[in-house]
Structure 1
Amino acid sequence: MIQYRIEVADAHAHRFLVTLRLDKPQPRQQLSLPVWIPGSYLVREFARHLSPLKARQGTRDVTVTQLDKATWEVATSGTATLTVQYEVYAFDTSVRAAFLDASRGFFNGTSVFLKAHGFEDQAHAVKITSLPKGWQVATALPAAKVNEQGVRDYLAPDYDALVDHPVEMGTFWRGEFTVRGVRHEFVVAGATADLDGQKLLGDTRRICEAQINFWHGRKKAPFDHYVFMLNVVEDGYGGLEHRQSTALICGRKDVPRVDRPLNKDAYTTLLGLISHEYFHTWNVKRLKPVEFAPYDYSQENHTRMLWFFEGFTSYYDDQFLLRTGLIDAATYIKLLGKTVNQVLSTPGRLSYSVAQASFDAWTRYYRPDENTANATVSYYTKGSLVALALDLALRELPASGKQHPSLDGVMQRLWQLGRPITSADVAKALADEAGRYPQGLQVKTGTPVEQAWQTLLDKWTEQCEELPLQHLLDRLGVAWSCKAAPLPQKWGVRVQDNNGAAKVQAVMRGGLAERIGLSAGDELLALDGWRVRKADDLTAWHDAKRAQPLLICRDQKILTLNVPALDGKATAKGAATAGHSSDVVTLSLADVAQAPDKLARRQAWLQA
């Protein structure tokens, strides 16, 4: 057995002390720390936060040699127990690493637990000790014991399980509920005393119950304990999935408070995050791509399927808010329209497929810069629209038996495979669910149904073809209308308002802003002689009928650019060249009272 002892060594210095004990080590025992954490696709070099390793066998010091950035070798003598000790600097407030101060502690196993090579499949015991007075511990790791001195003992069956159970420590709010025999804990750190925990528990419970029913019907879920760990901060948003828990972060404005007006939009965003991470309990933690079986913690694990594992999860997160009545249909359609506009305003979607974007997440999505919108597309947003398009394409097919085909059926077919999947598995599940060719796809006579769905799937994921969303939504009675976009979007520029200054964040490829010479980092000073302090000022001073001077500051130098006169044709041409939309799409529920087929399909979709 491998044993770890985690101590709060110095909260003010943000340091955990970790002691690793290994019985019967190998003659040249190698140890390593992961360079990334599953669910966040970037090499983060957690080992940079470790102090030098010290190793002993009995009373004798033994030599530790570092082999690379995250791997060490210990020259052991005999089979006496090896003890390795090191400190971990923990001051990352995100959900991905480790944090410690006088009020709160948190860690992911990938940041603190060295892996003992050759012993990965053995049981791993963890003892958490030296906690400040009054601190609690929350984790989904199975507890061996909790004694009166605050020493917590846990046991993981192997290294993968060990690092897939984050730990929250501190004086947090705690509540729980049980759904279908699964005990769910919810802990909240950093919230004000008037947190409406009962509302948070009640709404989360509805999401959990709906998702367990979605995946298992009346069968038992594959876990009996789940923990939500929410860190409430001044301003923040994010989450990271684990097999029996999730780490979340949100702003204080996002949480419900007793006897305070609820910020509905912000709270809906939080519930969507909770729904998203809980759905991952199945989609990516258990139903996973073949490239993740098993994980290689020493380097990037590339897959072309994040459009499925993140994108489809992003489609279902808001779907479950709708299905549980936490939002209404009008709100859901509004959220869907927001996603559509995010994708249409990204020129990279026309040159970079969502499958390629998935593969390159490590170097593009997780390392955004001023050119990201031109260089890639989000597998979250574009992937969710692929899910939407497939769901609607299935739902317009004739019923097979008592039920219309749907993406729900596809997900359940994939789950029943009980193994890691490929894109071909998704195509087969689509074909089996549909039982016929997708409508509108030209196929040769005799083409297998599965091949036809693979062709469609490749068009929407491996190629850059636009999704036929307007047509598919119209078939379900959802109206698609357009209005003129704000002036910066028409120009193909993203502007950030910052304390009375309007700074260019990004310039879209081929748009007007690029053609007149604007660059990221430029500060907009004046248009046509009138002061510009925020993006909206451009609209106030712009006259499309005549050329106007645009005064900017670049690297402390004042420059004058020329904004040409624009007519409708010129604007449309510029937008088409850029690949970003010069219009804003609005989705709404159309009046389909006289179209019973549309009404029936829409009701089935929105009340799935």
Structure 2
Amino acid sequence: MPKFILLFFISTLSFAQTNSYEISFENATHHEARIKATFPNVKSHELVVSMSRSSPGRYAVHEFAKNVYGFVAKDSKGNKLEVTRKDPYSWNITGHDGTVNVEYILFGNRADGTYSQIDNTHAHLNMPATFMYAEELQHRPIEITFNMPEDLSWKIATQLKPTKANTYMAPDLYYFMDSPTELSDFSLREFKMDGKNISFALHHDGTDAEFDEYFDQVKRIVEQEKQVFGELPDYDYGQYTFIACYLPNVSGDGMEHRNSTILTDTEGLAKGGMKGNIGTVSHEFFHSWNVERIRPNDLEAFDFSKANMSGSLWFAEGFTSYYTNLILHRAKVLTAEEYIKSLNGTFNYVWNSPAHQFFNPIEMSYQAPFVDAATSVDPVNRENTFISYYSYGSVLGLALDLELRSKGLNLDDFMKQVWNTFGKSEVSYTIEDLHESLNKYAGAEIGDNFFGNYIYKSEMPKYAELFKSVGLKFKQDSEKGYFGASLKKNENLVEISGNPKIGSAAYKAKLSSGDIITSVNGKAISSMKDWETIINESKPGTELNISYTRDAKEGETKVTLTMDPTYTISIDENADKKAVKARESWLATK
């Protein structure tokens, strides 16, 4: 067969086995999109098309099928096909002639990293929340055409490969599902680094000057994160795209993808977003190395039909969280004082939690399907049983970095090693692989201690020594009393708003979430100020006679306050020169 005929045959065959989609927005005012999909060369008697139940970067189940209606299936001649339903998220289609055409309406009105929103301002599309798929055809290439509203000045921001006007390609289903797309009249900024194009598509109502100022911060972040790993990833098509919506009608979120990230927030750049949103930029771009290419083995292959669980999120999300604010300081977005202050909230949340007695960081990571934008209606006891793997991994990353630096090493170089071993080659890792890598980089004494005590177990690193080594003060207030439960104002009353911490004064006094505190030592309590005044004036060991109501019944109990466990981390202005030099090296712009 002549070569040109063979190439034509291969090209024709490939096209014939390409699944194609069209999406249009005639009823965007009412948050509807109309979607058509064509599946050619179907060999099976029954084709099952489904809506996803999970989404790349998310770990919980999301029943996207609930927003689909008006479903119709036809063959190549337009004949209507028989459709049966065997579960809530799939459509079973029979009687086709080798081609299955489906059409349906999607309702979408939440713009974030998980869902889709269609209105007159934009079409913000997370692909699993938008497009049906046929699992048996998942390895086929996909073509998608966006039929843009003629009366709106919409453009397209996506990591998908453009082929012609408004039409894009993906090599397979996973790439397609991992490619969120924004259609809107967004503003665009771009720059080149190491031969790669970094673009930022921003849908907002701010000014060009505000965007320019923000984008300058973005460029510095990209440079500092590149310095951690030594190079940028080899982005597909030489392109990485930030896709951002900072508008009142969206929901705050950030979600990483292979060559792009979604950034959403209600705050515009002039309304707090200039500083409030930049941390998400730092976090999500770091994921283009850590998570997208330095990939946990237990997330491969991603399953769109169920929750995806990984024991490595303390590293994938947590170490990324450690670098989030550190990079902001290195990029001169945060001062050293602001960065050190930012450590306090996360540190106290992690180390003052009773949850260490139940789960180590690996097991906390296993909880992701229950907490990562998951929904439930029954009460839970997360105050006592869960620590976010983002936060837990972040403070462990901090501890490891400072421990390594005390030995003349650093976390940046360890991350480079992990990148060179697993990320560049895109060979997924196990937790045992990370343990072995740390032993290889820093020696078995450090590696075995870190994993043995802080990953496989849930012990607390020796932070007092570590902070002192970089000139930081680390203390607690032994004169401040502690109650052990959060409270909130409930009309003219004060209510315990969360489960008391195990072992705390409130817990031992058998108080519970929902209890209304009516008086303390005979004094009526009608506001949070009343409560705070009493607590602020009370030392550890102080006894409080508390009257409360629970389920419309009155009760009394005696509470003995304990010492406030809150830690304060700050810069030590009297640190010795060695510690100051170590701190400067740790925080220095690269």
TM-score clears 0.5: yes
SS at the partner of 1:460? helix
Amino acid at match of 1:429: S
The whole-number CA distance in structure 1 between the counterparts of 2:60 and 2:203 is 26
CA contact (8 A) 1:525 1:552 kept: yes
Deviations 1:175-210 (Å, cap 9, x if unpaired)? 333333332332333434587111111101111122
SS at the partner of 1:118? helix
- Alignment length (residue pairs): 557
Q: 1:242 to 1:485 in 2, by over 3 A?
A: farther
Q: Which of 461, 467, 471 lines up with 2:461 in the alignment?
A: 467
Q: 1:485 to 1:328 in 2, by over 3 A?
A: farther
Amino acid at match of 2:153: G
Equivalent position of 1:444 in the other structure: none
The whole-number CA distance in structure 2 between the counterparts of 1:24 and 1:562 is 73
Amino acid at match of 2:146: I
Equivalent position of 1:380 in the other structure: 390
1:243 matched to 2:258? The reply is yes
Equivalent position of 1:424 in the other structure: 432
1:562 matched to 2:557? The reply is yes
1:589 matched to 2:581? The reply is no
Q: Which of 278, 282, 291 lines up with 2:285 in the alignment?
A: 278
Q: Which of 483, 491, 496 lines up with 1:491 in the alignment?
A: 483
In the TM superposition, what is the alpha-carbon distance from 1:307 to its structure 2 partner? 0.3
- Structure 2 unaligned residues grouped into runs of 5+: 1-17
Q: How large is the Cα RMSD of the aligned pairs? A: 2.6
Q: 1:275 to 1:533 in 2, by over 3 A?
A: farther
Amino acid at match of 2:158: T
- Once the two structures are overlaid, the 10-residue window that deviates more, 319-328 or 307-316, is 319-328
CA contact (8 A) 1:517 1:561 kept: no
The whole-number CA distance in structure 1 between the counterparts of 2:189 and 2:386 is 41
SS at the partner of 1:83? strand
Equivalent position of 2:302 in the other structure: 295
1:317 matched to 2:321? The reply is no
Q: 1:55 to 1:311 in 2, by over 3 A?
A: same
Equivalent position of 1:121 in the other structure: 139
Amino acid at match of 1:85: E
In the TM superposition, what is the alpha-carbon distance from 1:499 to its structure 2 partner? 5.9
Amino acid at match of 2:39: L
SS at the partner of 1:517? coil
SS at the partner of 1:312? helix
Q: 1:217 to 1:127 in 2, by over 3 A?
A: closer
1:571 matched to 2:562? The reply is yes
The whole-number CA distance in structure 1 between the counterparts of 2:339 and 2:401 is 15
Q: 1:217 to 1:107 in 2, by over 3 A?
A: closer
CA contact (8 A) 1:364 1:376 kept: no
Equivalent position of 1:103 in the other structure: 121
CA contact (8 A) 1:98 1:107 kept: yes
Equivalent position of 1:68 in the other structure: 87
SS at the partner of 1:51? strand
Q: 1:193 to 1:416 in 2, by over 3 A?
A: closer
Q: 1:411 to 1:498 in 2, by over 3 A?
A: farther
Q: 1:275 to 1:499 in 2, by over 3 A?
A: farther
The whole-number CA distance in structure 2 between the counterparts of 1:375 and 1:17 is 44
Q: Which of 237, 256, 259 lines up with 2:269 in the alignment?
A: 256
Equivalent position of 2:216 in the other structure: 202
CA contact (8 A) 2:229 2:412 kept: no
Q: 1:12 to 1:63 in 2, by over 3 A?
A: same
The whole-number CA distance in structure 2 between the counterparts of 1:172 and 1:98 is 17
Q: 1:217 to 1:230 in 2, by over 3 A?
A: closer
Q: Which of 224, 239, 244 lines up with 1:225 in the alignment?
A: 239
The whole-number CA distance in structure 2 between the counterparts of 1:283 and 1:223 is 20
Q: Which of 398, 404, 414 lines up with 1:394 in the alignment?
A: 404
- Once the two structures are overlaid, the 10-residue window that deviates more, 88-97 or 530-539, is 530-539
The whole-number CA distance in structure 1 between the counterparts of 2:158 and 2:287 is 18
CA contact (8 A) 1:528 1:541 kept: no
In the TM superposition, what is the alpha-carbon distance from 1:377 to its structure 2 partner? 1.3
CA contact (8 A) 1:43 1:362 kept: yes
Equivalent position of 2:505 in the other structure: 512
1:339 matched to 2:346? The reply is yes
CA contact (8 A) 2:233 2:288 kept: no
In the TM superposition, what is the alpha-carbon distance from 1:375 to its structure 2 partner? 1.2
- Structure 1 unaligned residues grouped into runs of 5+: 147-151, 398-403, 439-452, 573-581
Equivalent position of 1:33 in the other structure: 51
1:54 matched to 2:72? The reply is yes
Amino acid at match of 1:21: T
CA contact (8 A) 2:519 2:547 kept: yes
Higher relative contact order (CA 8 A, sep 6+): 2
Deviations 1:381-412 (Å, cap 9, x if unpaired)? 11111111111121112xxxxxx322112211
1:161 matched to 2:189? The reply is no
In the TM superposition, what is the alpha-carbon distance from 1:530 to its structure 2 partner? 4.1
Query: Percent of aligned pairs with the same residue?
Result: 24
Amino acid at match of 1:316: Y
Equivalent position of 2:8 in the other structure: none
In the TM superposition, what is the alpha-carbon distance from 1:311 to its structure 2 partner? 0.3
Equivalent position of 2:494 in the other structure: 502
Amino acid at match of 1:605: W
CA contact (8 A) 2:353 2:387 kept: yes
Q: 1:120 to 1:202 in 2, by over 3 A?
A: same
Q: 1:154 to 1:546 in 2, by over 3 A?
A: closer
CA contact (8 A) 2:60 2:371 kept: no
1:602 matched to 2:583? The reply is yes
CA contact (8 A) 1:549 1:560 kept: no
CA contact (8 A) 2:233 2:289 kept: no
CA contact (8 A) 2:235 2:259 kept: no
Q: Which of 340, 354, 363 lines up with 1:356 in the alignment?
A: 363
* TM-score, normalisation: structure 2: 0.88
Q: 1:505 to 1:523 in 2, by over 3 A?
A: same
Deviations 1:438-472 (Å, cap 9, x if unpaired)? 2xxxxxxxxxxxxxx24531321221212222221
Q: Which of 22, 25, 34 lines up with 1:8 in the alignment?
A: 25
Q: 1:335 to 1:604 in 2, by over 3 A?
A: same
Deviations 1:540-596 (Å, cap 9, x if unpaired)? 1357587544344444x15243334x4xxx624xxxxxxxxx232221222466443
* TM-score, normalisation: structure 1: 0.85
In the TM superposition, what is the alpha-carbon distance from 1:353 to its structure 2 partner? 1.1
Q: 1:501 to 1:173 in 2, by over 3 A?
A: farther
Amino acid at match of 1:230: A
Q: Which of 138, 147, 154 lines up with 2:157 in the alignment?
A: 138
Equivalent position of 2:4 in the other structure: none
